[in-house]
A = this chain, B = another copy of it.
Amino acid sequence: MNFDNDDIQFDKLIVQEVAPRDGLQIEPTWVETADKIALIDQLSTAGFTRIEAGSFVSPKAIPALRDGEAVFTQIERRAGVIFVALVPNVKGAERALNAHADELNLVMSASQTHNRANMRMSCEASLVGFGDIVRLAKHFPVSLNATVATAFGCPFEGKIDEDRVVSIVDTYREMGIDGITLADTTGMANPRQVARLVKRVLQRVPAEALTLHFHNTRGLGLANVLAAYEVGARRFDAALGGLGGCPFAPGASGNICTEDLVNLCDEIGIPTGIDLPKLIALSRTLPALLGHDVPGQLMKAGRNCDVHPVPDYVRAI
């Protein structure tokens, strides 16, 4: 792809909004269930086709999301919007299915150490649990996605062997899990690595089933999106306001910011179907909701087209 070719028609880039899950899970301030539902209902009218609306993990591990059932059963369901639930094990899957999640997102790390830190079990034990979830899910109208966390690097182990990531993708697919997410859990990916690994994975997984999940920990989130898009990836996780981070990964910080990503796409000419002004307005409600500033940059700077008034001293020159 040549970004500098004026005549190019870009494919749609699908943004999966993950702020209600990856964004809120690390917040120390309790967000009321009604506020979570209102946030998700606002998001689902902004043009998203996929929203990760919560997780069904132990309330002891992630107290911020202990109200998953209430959230999933009370949000407004909208035609064309898939509501995804992160689940760590078969117990979580049962809860998510009871709450009518449209899709389950299973998570295992490529790094054994991070999987033990995050999931409190070995990768092998995680895969046994995935098998149970796949068997259970067959009886429900639900789709399955599985994430390879720390796919681009681990905060404990450092570099992750790319062959191992590809092999996990193959295992997921052989188990009957259609959707695959490659997650850069603590923002260690670089665009060259992303292009190389995504190219390999796209030989095994169709673009419509592959999601890239980047964090902006070292400032490379949007550069990584472009690198992945250029080699054929079309679906990306992002969080309103750039919220997020993994409570069990030291040094983790925010997801790539949804409105910053949509602005990039708007400026380049990549269609997303998402209402950017609505998103900016929603993002600007987050500091009051959470009690702190958020990393998103567009909600502070505004769009390029939001020009500033000319100061009086300039008019006088």
Contacts and interface: CB of A to CB of B under 8 A. Distances in A.
Interface stretch (A12-20, A87-95, A98-106, A305-313): A305-313
A268 B196 CA distance: 11
A116 interface: yes
What is the predominant secondary structure among interface residues of chain A facing chain B? loop
Q: List the number of copies, as a whole number.
A: 2
A30 interface: no
A223 B155 contact: no
A143 interface: no
Contacts of A302: 251
A164 interface: no
A297 interface: yes
Interface string A284-317: 0000000000000110111011011111011001
A59 interface: no
Given A196-B6, A253-B301, A269-B192, A218 B263 contact: yes
A260 interface: yes
A257 interface: yes
Contact of A223 (B159, B222, B304, B314): B222
B218 A260 contact: yes
